Chains A and B, each alone.
Chain A
Amino acid sequence: MILASGFFEDLFRGILQGTPPGAVYALIALGFVLTYKTSGVFNLAFGAQAYISAAMYFKVHSVWGWPKWAALLVSVFVLAPLVGLVLERAIFRHLRTASAVSKLVVTIGLSVALPEIFNWAARFSAVAGRQITGIVPDGAGVYYDPFGVYRFNRDELAMMAVALAGTLLLAALFRFTMMGLSMRAVVESPRMTELSGINANRVSAFAWALSSTFAGMAGVLIAPRFNSLSSGDYFTLVIIAVAAAATGLLVSLPRALLGGLGLGWFIAVFNTFLPGLADDHTWLRPFQENLTPSLPFVVLFAILVLWRAVGRQREASDPLAGVDPPPPALAALERHPRLTLFTRLFGVFFVTVVGLVVWFRADVLWMSLVTKAVIIALIYLSVTVITGMGGQISLCQGTFAAIGGFTVFQMADRFNMSVLAAALIGAALAAAVGALLSLPVLRLGGVWLAIATLAFAFFFDAVMVKFSWVGGGSTALLTGTQVPRPLIGPIDFASDRAFLVLAVVALVVVSVVVIQLREGTIGRTLAALRGSEVAAASIGISAARARIVAFAVSAAIAGLGGALLAMHQQNVNYALNFAPIVALFWLVVVVALGSRTVEGAIQAGAAFALFEPLILQGELLGWIVRGEERLPEFFPLSGNWRLILFGLMAMQFARHPEGLVEHGKRRSATRINGWLEAREARA
């Protein structure tokens, strides 16, 4: 029985070890649920809020040398609620009636932009090795061992104590105060609550300030466990919070609490036992190395897929939503015929001029940038299919593209296959993976689907890429996953010009396919499903079938684009091109500019690839003032600006969920239509 007692001791130690982080997960899950309950926002920027407080704490305590209590006061009890208030006031208050999905897109934008805004404003750079100390003196040095199996240090005790205090505070608030009651009412329908005399704005501002404080507190508490202070670690923290909150279906605070603790225990126990198991069973070893960092994603995916109740839960719909005006039709449908003609002529003219300039005048660098823009636009058409036509948010398009890229690399590397043939195989493989992935996640609606695809993307990133038959092994990822340029008979696409032509041809073909699909049966079926799922079923449309097709087509397009990008750069460059965080970027850019039209995807591709050199590095301005030496001295702008502008774009999107370009088109079309009609009336 020695084995058994050792087993129970290990188990107990795992649970004790998992309790402090579990308490922090619980704290952050509580804050997450609080925001969701009171404003319906699925706040993926929650980790960014936690990061800001942790970074501020570091700055005040370690850089300025203030005492710990003062640093805590400034970072958690002043800055954090302030951030929450500003976010509510400036953004989310205006988004009450927006769809859950557009709110999600805004928080994705913020999750990238907030840390950058803070780093820029506080002159803080998130370099490695910046570990912060806990909130209690000598936190990592003094140990207590109450049970004789695991030694808690003071930081860990502080985590548990603060989490307990936060939970009790929240429970008391909901149970005994008017504010708590109002918060519960506001989530049903802010407008309905206002009809009964409650100021919904005040309630929601309070909830945001409070939840942001929870995020800040959790951020500071957990910081000593990270090796460095990076916003990426904090994004992972949100995923854990989402998993914990999902166990309570996003609405139950007690279950979110238990979910957080449970995840802490599970991860710790898992890490206690897996190394021993992997010693006995060698085939487990790659999993042991790769699975541990991705455990939160695996758990989240498993909860979403296996737990039926999550799929059945519908987004809370405002009983007064019926009074909102319907979304406007596409601008192109309402244009005056002459304006349409003019727009098309101008489009042809513009593309021709740009094409000629690039063909005759561009140097190697610009030729390469334009080619990249064309390929990215092709990848973005995959978002047009799944989001614009299918009405669903997929956050794993980067993964599908990576499958295309890796297939080309593997086929060329191992079998010396023609890369163009390999690209088609890659697209087919991506389509197969997309269809397979869509099977379990299909019944999830809206936000849950998006989160499940995000979990999948992170799982692929942490586990699959490191297998030698996918990404060539973790060393190959660093040393290079080389891909040759294609060669068809006498035409060698190693020439940059020839490859640009190939990319343009591919883009045109895929654009035509997407337009055909949109006008065809599948496009109209998806439009019906987007409009009303029950009504679509009432005329015999199978939602599952249509969505599997949409996922597969979208994945195939992304896979093809990924393969082309790998050929173009002659390397897969996974971390740079296809990492999950990049794919989040993609989604926001496409939906912000317009996911429903082909030209929206092309504009987004151009914006993504060309914005930085053209605007931020001052190339365009330099060309206008003739000579880079005459540029104002703040050029080139720092990389922070790209992310900050990106965040601003996401916020603008919140006000125009049909897409910024689409919004601009409608405004100008209305104006010119009026002018044309007035002229006709006079004539």
Chain B
Amino acid sequence: MTRVLEASGMSVAFAGIRALDNVSVSVAAAERVGLIGPNGAGKTTLFNCLLGILRPDAGRVLLNGVDVGGWPAHRRARAGMGRTFQRVELFADTTVREHLLIAERVRNGTGAFWKDLIGRGRPTTDEVAVCDEVLELLGIAELADKPVESLSLGQSRLVEVGRALMTGPQVLLLDEPSSGLDRDETQVLADTLRAVQDTRGYAVLLVEHDVSLVADFTERTYVLDSGALIAEGSTADVLADPAVRRAYLGSFEVT
């Protein structure tokens, strides 16, 4: 199986505290992988290192076998790393469709400056069609012309997913997509994510607090605790592991 994303030996220290200690994770093509751990385990730190927002003290990040360790975040995004945010990050003052349109334009790389000058910079009908297709897929086509300020949190998360999809990601990194959502909204989000992933076939790395979402959605799971990996394997095995349950899950029962 080819590895889309492979990080090995990641270590980060903040002011002497080991936030990550020699952590290695990998995601295969079209695979759904979970990353769980208690607060302060280093999930977000690892996430930021993978995306290029934070430079690790040691370790390598390979994207499709290419070392992207020195690349800035936007270059990794162009190379196939999509992401969503725990605290929703949308572009104020723009509509849902405009979010997708700008992502599509950046992916195509057709936004030369001289085209703007002669008035050829507006969205083309092709671009609009591609965006509407994704909105349709996510089931939010009717929101296309709404300003993002008017959306609910669940809808905003879907817009973020749509925006990430427009970059044509090979691996999509989801940062706690269920945070702030209630049980029903989380269910809708999980169903949509799975349906879209089935059609598009990208890999997913899901960082999540909600263990039931991880159990439901992922095939394989990593568990971080105090900056170190304490377990990895198929999600069912990991969640049944007594050490994991002691560190994190408490009395949670896998059904």
Partner of B116, one of A330, A517, A532, A534: A517
Would you call B53 and A534 a contact (CB within 8 A)? yes
What mask results when residues 101 to 131 of chain B are scored 1 for a CB within 8 Å of chain A, else 0?
1110111000111011111111000000000
Q: Does A535 contact B (CB under 8 A)?
A: yes
Partner of A534, one of B89, B112, B113, B119: B89
Would you call A531 and B91 a contact (CB within 8 A)? yes
Would you call B122 and A539 a contact (CB within 8 A)? no
Q: What is the size, in residues, of chain A's interface with B at 8 Å between Cβ atoms?
A: 30
Q: Does B244 contact A (CB under 8 A)?
A: no
Partner of A525, one of B73, B111, B166: B111
Of A398-406, A541-549, A640-648, which stretch is located at the interface?
Answer: A541-549
Partner of A540, one of B93, B147, B167: B167
Partner of B117, one of A327, A513, A527, A528: A513
Would you call A522 and B111 a contact (CB within 8 A)? yes
Within 8 A of B (CB), among A501-526: 513, 516-517, 519-525
How many angstroms from the CA of A542 to the CA of B74 in the assembled complex? 6
Q: Does A575 contact B (CB under 8 A)?
A: no
Q: Does A537 contact B (CB under 8 A)?
A: yes
Q: Does A335 contact B (CB under 8 A)?
A: no
Would you call A517 and B117 a contact (CB within 8 A)? yes
Contacts of A68 in B (CB 8 A): none
Q: Does B157 contact A (CB under 8 A)?
A: no
Q: Which of A517, A524, A537 has the most CB of B within 10 A?
A: A524
Distance to closest chain A CB from B75 (angstroms): 8
Distance to closest chain B CB from A24 (angstroms): 36
Distance to closest chain B CB from A621 (angstroms): 40
How many angstroms from the CA of A570 to the CA of B83 in the assembled complex? 56
Contacts of B147 in A (CB 8 A): 329
How many angstroms from the CA of A522 to the CA of B120 in the assembled complex? 12
What mask results when residues 137 to 178 of chain A are scored 1 for a CB within 8 Å of chain B, else 0?
000000000000000000000000000000000000000000
How many angstroms from the CA of A530 to the CA of B102 in the assembled complex? 13
How many angstroms from the CA of A624 to the CA of B76 in the assembled complex? 65
Would you call B122 and A538 a contact (CB within 8 A)? no
Distance to closest chain A CB from B49 (angstroms): 15
Within 8 A of B (CB), among A289-346: 326-327, 329-330
How many angstroms from the CA of A524 to the CA of B116 in the assembled complex? 11
Would you call A519 and B77 a contact (CB within 8 A)? no
Partner of B82, one of A516, A524, A538: A538
Given A522-B116, A539-B167, also A326-B149 (CB < 8 A): yes
**Shortest 6 CB-CB contacts between residues of A and residues of B:** A520-B121, A521-B111, A531-B91, A520-B116, A535-B89, A540-B78
| Interchain Cβ contacts under 8 Å between A and B, 23 examples | A329-B93, A329-B149, A516-B119, A517-B116, A519-B121, A521-B105, A521-B115, A522-B116, A523-B121, A524-B98, A527-B91, A532-B89, A532-B90, A535-B91, A536-B74, A536-B91, A539-B102, A539-B166, A540-B75, A540-B106, A541-B102, A542-B74, A549-B113
Given A525-B106, A541-B106, 12 more pairs with CB closer than 8 A: A520-B121, A521-B112, A531-B90, A531-B93, A532-B89, A535-B89, A537-B74, A538-B77, A539-B103, A539-B163, A541-B74, A542-B74
| Interface positions of A (Cβ within 8 A of B) | 326-327, 329-330, 513, 516-517, 519-525, 527-528, 530-532, 534-543, 549
| Interface positions of B (Cβ within 8 A of A) | 51, 53, 72-75, 77-78, 82-83, 85, 89-94, 98, 101-103, 105-107, 111-113, 115-122, 147, 149, 160, 163-164, 166-167
